[in-house]
Structures are given as C-alpha cells and as structure tokens.
Structure 1
Amino acid sequence: MPELRQSIAQHYHDRTKYDPQTLASKSHSIDWAKQPVPFKDYKIGSDFDLKPYIHEKPEVFADNPDAQWWQRLSRLLFCSYGLTAKMPSMGSTVYLRSAPSAGGLYPAEVYVVSRGTPLLPPGLYNYQCRNHSLMHYWESDVWQALQSACLWHPTLENTQLAIVITAVFYRSQWRYEDRAYRRIFLDSGHLLGNIELAGAITDYRPHLIGGFVDDAVNELLYIDSQQEGAVAVLPLADLLDVKQNLPLGRTALPSSTEIDYPQIPDGELLRYFHTSTKILPGTTGKLNLPEVKQEKSLEDKYNFPFCQKISTATTPIDWGNKLDELEVNILKRRSTRAYSGSNLTFDELKALLNFTYQPKSYIDQGLDPQPDYFDLNLIETFIAVSGVKGLDAGCYYYAPLAQELRQIRFKNFQRELHYLCLGQELGRDAAAVLFHTADLKNAVVQYGDRVYRYLHMDAGHLGQRLNLAAIRLNLGVSGIGGFFDDHVNEVLGIPADEAVVYITTLGRPR
C-alpha cells in the first residue's frame, strides 16, 4: 500500500529545513534597496494621542476616571508593542519594540476594534507605535461582523474592545524567504505573551481566539490578504467591570488538511501555505463555541526509563508591588548579543522554568493562573545544559506537571550547539539552550494544517515569558529561529517524531 502523502504543513516544514549540505546553495543576497518599512501609514483618519497617559504615574489621574481609562489602554498597547529604543544601523535608525522580532523586522500589526465606548467611538483603529497613538481609520460599527467572523465566540458577547494581530508577510520574507512563516508566528507569539502580561498590569483579560474565518477578518480590517493576514483575535475583558469577568473560551479550531497540492516553486511556498491554513466560510458553520480550555494531560509525555529525575520546584520570581517590576522589565527587555560563557546557577534555571510553565505560582501577585494558549499539550521542552552549577552537563526533558528535569543524554554539547545554531556564538557560549518541539504529524491530525500557526505562536508565547524572567534575573536571553532542524534531534537524543519549533539560549551577558 502506498504511503499517504504528507499534509501541506508537513511539506512546508520539511521544505524549509536548514541542512548543512543545501544551506549554502539556497542562500540569497539581501536586496537592501527593497528593505520593507516595519510600520503602516494611514493618510486619512482621526488620531487619538496616547502619549500623555504613558508619562504619568497612575496616581496622577486618581480623580479622573476618563483619564484612568485612557491610561490603562495606553499602557496596555505600549507594553505590548510600543517603541522602547532607537539604534543607528547602516546610516538609518532602527526602532526597537517591547516584543522581540527576528532580524528586527516586526511583521506584526496591531489593530483595535471598538464596539463603541463612551471614550472610544465604534470602528477600526491601527496602533501607530511610532507616535504611540490610535488611528481611527473606519468609523462604522463593525462589532457584529467581528462576531460573525469569529463564529460567535462567547467572549465577544460581553466585551467592548478587541485586539487583532495581523502579519505583513513581506517584512520577514524579504530576508528569510519561505522560512519566514515560522518566524512570523514566533514573533506573533512573543506579542501574545506581552499582551497577556500587559493585560494583568492594566486590569484587562485578553481572551485568545485562533479559530476565525480568515477572509472575513481580513475584509473587516480592509487589508490586502495577498500582503497581510489576520493571525489572532483577542477580545479584551475589562476586569474592573464585573460583567466582563468571563469564563474561558475555546482558543483553537481546526482547518482542513491539504494533501492534494501542486508543485510549489520556491518563493511562493509561504503564501500558498498560509492560504491552505485558512478557515473558510461555511467549513465550520455558526458555532456556539463551548466554554472549554485545553487541559494539560494527566501525565507528562516522556518518562524515560532509568533517567535521573531532578525537581525544579522553587520560589516564584517577585514582580514587585502591583507588578511594577514586570512592566519595567517588559520595557527594558533586549535580546542578548553575546554571552560571557560563565555558568548559571540551578536556582536561576529553576526560576526561569517556574515563571514560564507554572503560572499558578503567580496568582498571589495578580497574574492570570490560566493564561490562554492554543494547546500546550502539543509543545514539549528539552534543555541542553552546558554550564549550570549544580546540574550535570547533558540534555534533559522538562516535565512541567511533575516539575522535574529528566536527563536523556550525558555530554557537554557546546561544540555541537555552535554547529546546530548555524555557527552562532550564542549557541556555543550559552549556559543552557532550551528547545520547544512538537509532534507535527499528530498535531495535524488534531487541528489540520492550521496547527502550524498555533504551535509557533504558543512556542513564541512561552519564549517571551522566558525572555522576561531572564531579564528580571539580570541574565542574558536570545531566541534563535535558524538551526539545522534534523541534526538537533540526532545530536541531542530528542525523539525523531519531535519537530524543533523554537530555540532559546540562556546565559550571562558579556
């Protein structure tokens, strides 16, 4: 019997793998004359300036409820995707944002949809991060159209505002070609992580929706779906309004699984794949989505026989009074450019894992104990340890339910990590390198080809929590989206079924 053909998600993943035998032949020279601008401009619309509210402490507006409302929205957007630094680069200026992005290309755009509040008229807004304002570019009521596009998700019934994240494909594709699709959704996941945490700071609860009719949301926003596409919708529940303290809703819906695809030329694979992962009108129908949350399975996936098991239970990171330190760390976060090669302590590694994977430990500090992901059952974590005091060098599986590390290989992998990360010194000099993986074949069975979006956004979301925990502990951290895919599994002993989705390096900054 002939073997079943791969789905388009599996085909895309295999087509965009880096391999040492083919990477040099596939490399392309970057056309700097065609470098995309990472901002959108709207020539027509009304501008709502948010800057006055970001420079003042909340106490200044204690007697002004309207100003308090504006400040909360201003801080939410600024912490999520605001401009936090300027750097000179090749004769021009690069603007850095609160969320990291591969190559500083920032493919995401942030829109706000208002149902119509006393202070924010109904319609569509684009967040203009260059001047920290909202551009009101469409002034009609579109909330019911958003509900329809999101298949009548229950969280949209009682909320008044929603964030929509889109991706402008060429911003990343200009540099990373077809593999850019991976980076686009990792970057979107970083942004989701910021929105979740910024929501806790500003008394909003973002409810994540990944299952929506793509073309309907794109048309709602008046964007060109050949150039830009919606990737996530987040109704914002105002926690200061008792009616908006809502139950959790379903975050992910399946798409179709495509196996009957043509030969796709290089350069066209990204857009073909994105189109294949859409939810089309009528394929799911009008649903009253159940109020469900994917629960982590009763056991961690891998329990290797005879492996050493080491507890990672620890004291939570302190984020300060009213999460003040969390806000500071979101805004000062930077990706580390070089590590010193010095060791981390095991306590530091435990604290990083605790904040990333144990949100219930932070309920007393005002953080959400069950933040929204698409499906963390699909994501696994492996850690290559090279320099952690109190922990033998080797590769470990992290079991979040048991809160323990399970060693699967005994070896210092520094030389191999340098090679696997395409010769980047970050891989060689890091004290620990964390790998997010997924069984892609099984994931496609559950959610169709759209799962590729969910996997990368969830990995990026986890990666952003790692970023912020590392910055709080004065450690270095940097994500890596370019690596020799198959060689990672072979060298580290990660099961072959696990596709590597994301790498995060950790160490002491030089």
Structure 2
Amino acid sequence: MARWHRRRLSQLLYFSYGVTLVIPYANQPFYMRAAPSAGGLYPAELYLISQGVAGIPEGLYNYQVRSHSLVRFWDESRWPRLQAGCAEAAILNQCSLALVVSAVFFRSAWRYEDRAYRRICLDSGHLLGNIELAANLTGYRAYLLGGFCDQILEELLFLDPQEEGILAVVPLWDLWQPTSADTPQEMPQWPANEFTALSSPIVTHVPELQEGDWLPFLHRVSRIESGSLTRPPVPATTPAEPPADKYNFPFCLRVSTATPPIDWGPHLQELVRSILKRRSTRHFTGADLPLQLLLALLDFTYHPEHYTAQGLDGNPDYFDRSLVETFVVANGVEGLEPGCYYYAVQAQELRQIRFRNFRNEVFQLCLGQELGRDAAAVVFHTADLTKAVARYGERAYRYLHLDAGHLGQRLNLAAIGLGLGVSGIAGFFDNQVNEVLGIPTSEAALYITTLGIPRQASPPKG
C-alpha cells in the first residue's frame, strides 16, 4: 500500500512539474519542465504537506525537480496550522495531503523587473492547470484555495516573505479507497467557491514607487492578514446558473463552437503524451489553421464538462473564472472571416466584433514578436479590473492571472495534442490590446496565447 501511494504521488508531481527534457550546454544543462515558464526561469516551487498516509509520513516536503524526489524537512504534524491559515476550509477536514505553490521572486525579477509579478502568477497558473489534470490521471481530485493568511503559511513552511511568497494551496482528495485502486469514493460536497477565493483590503493610496518596487508592492498589498481572514457567508440556495456572456451584439456574425470533444485515447494516454512533450513554439509558418481545430481547442479549455466520459473532472476549480473574458483574433482560420471575435462560452459561439485582418497590429502590440504576426489565431484573456477589485480587493490581481495561466495551459495541451504550435505571450503593450479588441480601458489584458502551424512539424490532426 505504501508503494502504491508513493507511485501515484510520484506520477502526479512528475506530470505537474517534472523534467521532461534536458538540453546540454557548455556550462550546465537546461532542464525543461512539464509546465511552461516565461524565459525558462521557473519561479514556482512545490511543497507537500502530509497529515500522514501510507508511505508518506506526516510532515513538510519540498519537491526537488532535478532528482524527482521529495525532501522531508519537517517531521511533525503541521496540518492544524495549515487549517488555521486557510480559515478552517472544510476540504482540509477531508484530505490528508495538500500541495502548496509558492514563487521565488528573484528568479523572474532579475529579468522581467516590474513586469515579473504578472509572469510569476501566469507561470504558477500553468502549474495549477497541470496539477488539475495530473490529479485526474492519478486518482486524486485537486481542490483550490486562494483565501489564506499569507503570514501563517509562510511561517508554516519557514519562508522568507521578502524572497518567496505563497500563491495557492491545493488539497488532494483521494478518489480511491485506501484498500483498493478500483473503487472510487464519493467526493465531498459544499457550497461552490466556499474558500477558493477570499478578498483582501483595497488600497486607496499608491505611493510613488521606484523601478523594481512594483513586484514586492503588488504581492504585499494583496496579502490577507489573520485578522481579516473570515469565512464568506454560506448561500442558502444552490448557486445560480453561470453568468451570461458579457458581450452580445444584435447584428454580428455568429459562429457556433459546438464540436465533438478531443479524444484523448484509452486511459487518457494522448493527454499524458501531450503533457510530456509540450513545448513552446518558436516559429509559425503563417499557414491557415482549420476551423475545426480551433473549435476543439476552445472546447477542451472552456468546457471540461464535455470530458467527464473520458475520466476528467467536469468542474475543475478556478479562483473565479467568471471574471475572465476571452477574445480570439483570427488572422488565418479556414472558414472564418478575418477579424476579432468575442468567445461567448455559455452560448458556445464566436461573435465577430471587428471586421478586418489584425495581423500587423498584433505583431506590433506583441512587442514586434514574429509569433504574433505569423499565428493563425491569437487568444486574448481580459478582465474588468473595477469589478474584480470590488469583489476581491487587491488579491484580485493574483486570482486573475493565476486563472488566465490555468486556462492558457489547457490551450497549450490541447494544441500539442492536435499537432499544433502554441506559445504564451505576457509581454505586450496593454493599451494597444484594448484598441485592437475595441474594449474599454477598464478591461485589462491578462494574457495572450498564439496558435498556428509550427515550422518543421507533422501535419496537424483533424
């Protein structure tokens, strides 16, 4: 039994953040991981907290990526302290294992400076996307907690808050009975988003900051202190239907996105293969992308409920996906007029809002990166900052970019599975994004994902 538990956890960690390729260099090798990272800097760290299960004694562990091993650096129970730091979240009464995702700030800050916190959160969101799917593959259900007292959890893991900050706690519910790998357990139920996202205070005065001060400032003002760590009211009724799609223009071209789900093969073997061979594309050919493949990408990313028959979670946790809007700029998609489209997730349709080819504009707003010019389709994630801050305070910045990275990782894996090229872009001119999409300045760009036909690649699946 102990070996069985360790093997499953080993696979979960490897599929989430393991080394999938070693590239030799003169000075030292470069280790590529299952989750993408801006500049290959990998700011995220993974910790495991165990309450004590067979083969995984209670204590604190750090995942050592290069050796694919867990180092136990504390051998006493810290679970009660984890519960206290997470506002006594109900799920922690049901689980015995939890992952903690943190970020070592300097790993990104030395290169990206004031833009680094955005990239850190996006990179950590990629990792959360992998954890969600890797949990499905190994018999766990990954829950998501973003409402926690930063100081309590930093002290729990012995972190220096000036150098490393915690971004998410991921309790792991074991779907399989302790004595059998064949009998699934019924998952615990409680009100949706009970503890997934809690709010922090709102900053009313921003001091004058010097270059290099924005990263620590953004993390500091989005902290939740123990005195303000309160449970949200439990709703008396079942949550309402998902919010309606935000943009609905009466006379625009509408294209249905309903499509058969991607077939990930027996035992999700093709999904595993996509996780392990995922790479960011460096160059696109500029060739057109079949519309059916674009629709399949959107379906896997935004409609997990279509994949329950294949064994995937139909309702994975996000901090608040309702805040994130999606636009698609079609530069070269077969059967789709060039232009900018709003993706209405609930209605499952693309709604054209601007009517022309934006290839040159996307090239410019992506800081002159050829990926933006040569991509067949470009996916933009945006959010209404006023609405987000009103709901979650300054903590909203973390939640929005973590969720955008999570969605971006699902796009990544779907593209790789279909033989397409894909690359995320976090470096762009924010105001130019609003101009191209035709959205108000209150709607902020979070993340860009470019899609297309990669150079020197096999024909895409279709």
* TM-score normalised by the chain length of structure 2: 0.94
Identify the residue that residue 437 of structure 1 maps to in structure 2.
Answer: 382
Task: Indicate the SS of the match to 1:165.
Answer: strand
Identify the residue that residue 23 of structure 2 maps to in structure 1.
Answer: 87
User: Quick check: 85-94 or 188-197, which moved more?
Assistant: 85-94
Identify the residue that residue 217 of structure 1 maps to in structure 2.
Answer: 153
Inter-partner Cα distance in structure 1 for 2:432 and 2:86? 40
Task: Indicate the SS of the match to 1:215.
Answer: helix
Identify the residue that residue 357 of structure 1 maps to in structure 2.
Answer: 302
The answer to whether the aligner puts 1:78 opposite 2:14 as a matched pair is yes
Identify the residue that residue 246 of structure 1 maps to in structure 2.
Answer: 188
The answer to whether the aligner puts 1:119 opposite 2:83 as a matched pair is no
Q: Which residue of 143, 147, 151 corresponds with 1:207?
A: 143
Pairwise CA distance, 1:493: 1.8
Pairwise CA distance, 1:297: 3.4
User: Quick check: 290-299 or 128-137, which moved more?
Assistant: 290-299
Inter-partner Cα distance in structure 2 for 1:462 and 1:175? 25
Q: Is the CA contact (8 Å cut-off) linking 2:3 and 2:55 kept in structure 1?
A: no
Pairwise CA distance, 1:172: 0.5
Identify the residue that residue 385 of structure 1 maps to in structure 2.
Answer: 330
Task: Indicate the SS of the match to 1:282.
Answer: helix
Q: Which residue of 224, 232, 237 corresponds with 2:168?
A: 232
Q: Is the CA contact (8 Å cut-off) linking 1:152 and 1:288 kept in structure 2?
A: no
Identify the residue that residue 259 of structure 1 maps to in structure 2.
Answer: 204
Q: Is the CA contact (8 Å cut-off) linking 1:196 and 1:371 kept in structure 2?
A: yes
Pairwise CA distance, 1:292: 9.8
Identify the residue that residue 348 of structure 2 maps to in structure 1.
Answer: 403
Map of 1:350-499 to 2, 5 A cutoff?
350-499=295-444
Inter-partner Cα distance in structure 2 for 1:295 and 1:82? 39
Inter-partner Cα distance in structure 2 for 1:72 and 1:119? 11
Residues 372-399 of structure 1, C-alpha deviation per residue, up to 9 Å, x if partnerless? 0011110000011011000000000000
Task: Indicate the SS of the match to 2:327.
Answer: strand
Task: Indicate the SS of the match to 1:339.
Answer: coil
Residues 396-438 of structure 1, C-alpha deviation per residue, up to 9 Å, x if partnerless? 0000000000000111111111111000000000000000000
Inter-partner Cα distance in structure 1 for 2:296 and 2:439? 24
Task: Indicate the SS of the match to 1:164.
Answer: strand
Aligned-partner residue type, residue 8 of structure 2: R
Pairwise CA distance, 1:281: 1.0
Map of 1:125-274 to 2, 5 A cutoff?
125-241=61-177, 245-247=187-189, 249-250=193-194, 251-274=196-219
Aligned-partner residue type, residue 158 of structure 1: Q
Residue 374 to residue 469, structure 1, CA distance change in 2 (3 Å): same
Residues 341-379 of structure 1, C-alpha deviation per residue, up to 9 Å, x if partnerless? 111101000000000001110010000000000111100
User: Quick check: 196-205 or 494-503, which moved more?
Assistant: 494-503
Task: Indicate the SS of the match to 2:448.
Answer: strand
Q: How many residues align?
A: 446
Inter-partner Cα distance in structure 2 for 1:188 and 1:292? 33
Inter-partner Cα distance in structure 2 for 1:234 and 1:404? 32
Aligned-partner residue type, residue 85 of structure 2: A
Residue 407 to residue 328, structure 1, CA distance change in 2 (3 Å): same
Aligned-partner residue type, residue 262 of structure 2: I
Pairwise CA distance, 1:291: 11
Residue 183 to residue 473, structure 1, CA distance change in 2 (3 Å): same
Task: Indicate the SS of the match to 2:224.
Answer: coil
Inter-partner Cα distance in structure 1 for 2:167 and 2:236? 21
Q: Is the CA contact (8 Å cut-off) linking 2:243 and 2:322 kept in structure 1?
A: no
Aligned-partner residue type, residue 74 of structure 1: S
Residue 173 to residue 450, structure 1, CA distance change in 2 (3 Å): same
Q: Is the CA contact (8 Å cut-off) linking 2:15 and 2:275 kept in structure 1?
A: yes
Q: Is the CA contact (8 Å cut-off) linking 2:300 and 2:410 kept in structure 1?
A: yes
User: Quick check: 370-379 or 281-290, which moved more?
Assistant: 281-290
Inter-partner Cα distance in structure 1 for 2:186 and 2:55? 18
Inter-partner Cα distance in structure 2 for 1:186 and 1:405? 25
Pairwise CA distance, 1:294: 7.3
User: Quick check: 215-224 or 245-254, which moved more?
Assistant: 245-254
Residue 102 to residue 90, structure 1, CA distance change in 2 (3 Å): farther
Q: Is the CA contact (8 Å cut-off) linking 2:148 and 2:229 kept in structure 1?
A: no
Identify the residue that residue 38 of structure 2 maps to in structure 1.
Answer: 102
Task: Indicate the SS of the match to 2:29.
Answer: strand
Task: Indicate the SS of the match to 1:85.
Answer: strand
Identify the residue that residue 347 of structure 1 maps to in structure 2.
Answer: 292
Q: Is the CA contact (8 Å cut-off) linking 1:116 and 1:160 kept in structure 2?
A: yes
Pairwise CA distance, 1:94: 1.4
Pairwise CA distance, 1:310: 0.8
Residues 211-233 of structure 1, C-alpha deviation per residue, up to 9 Å, x if partnerless? 00001001000111110011000
Aligned-partner residue type, residue 416 of structure 1: E
Unaligned runs of 5+ in 1: 1-64
Q: Is the CA contact (8 Å cut-off) linking 1:345 and 1:388 kept in structure 2?
A: yes
Residues 438-462 of structure 1, C-alpha deviation per residue, up to 9 Å, x if partnerless? 0011110011000000000000000
Unaligned runs of 5+ in 2: 178-183, 456-462
Task: Indicate the SS of the match to 1:300.
Answer: coil
Pairwise CA distance, 1:88: 3.8
* TM-score normalised by the chain length of structure 1: 0.85
Q: Is the CA contact (8 Å cut-off) linking 1:218 and 1:224 kept in structure 2?
A: yes
Q: Is the CA contact (8 Å cut-off) linking 2:129 and 2:406 kept in structure 1?
A: yes
Q: Is the CA contact (8 Å cut-off) linking 1:384 and 1:395 kept in structure 2?
A: yes
Pairwise CA distance, 1:175: 0.3
Aligned-partner residue type, residue 236 of structure 1: L
Residues 196-215 of structure 1, C-alpha deviation per residue, up to 9 Å, x if partnerless? 00000001001100000001
Pairwise CA distance, 1:491: 2.5
The answer to whether the aligner puts 1:281 opposite 2:281 as a matched pair is no
Residues 146-181 of structure 1, C-alpha deviation per residue, up to 9 Å, x if partnerless? 000001000000101000000101100010001100
Inter-partner Cα distance in structure 2 for 1:89 and 1:189? 29
Pairwise CA distance, 1:304: 1.7
Inter-partner Cα distance in structure 2 for 1:290 and 1:114? 31
Aligned-partner residue type, residue 447 of structure 1: Y
Q: Which residue of 313, 331, 337 corresponds with 2:258?
A: 313
Q: Is the CA contact (8 Å cut-off) linking 1:165 and 1:230 kept in structure 2?
A: yes
Identify the residue that residue 336 of structure 1 maps to in structure 2.
Answer: 281
Task: Indicate the SS of the match to 1:146.
Answer: helix
User: Quick check: 366-375 or 283-292, which moved more?
Assistant: 283-292
Aligned-partner residue type, residue 323 of structure 1: L
Pairwise CA distance, 1:89: 4.9
Q: Is the CA contact (8 Å cut-off) linking 1:154 and 1:288 kept in structure 2?
A: no
Q: Is the CA contact (8 Å cut-off) linking 1:153 and 1:288 kept in structure 2?
A: no
Task: Indicate the SS of the match to 2:228.
Answer: coil
C-alpha RMSD of the superposition: 1.7
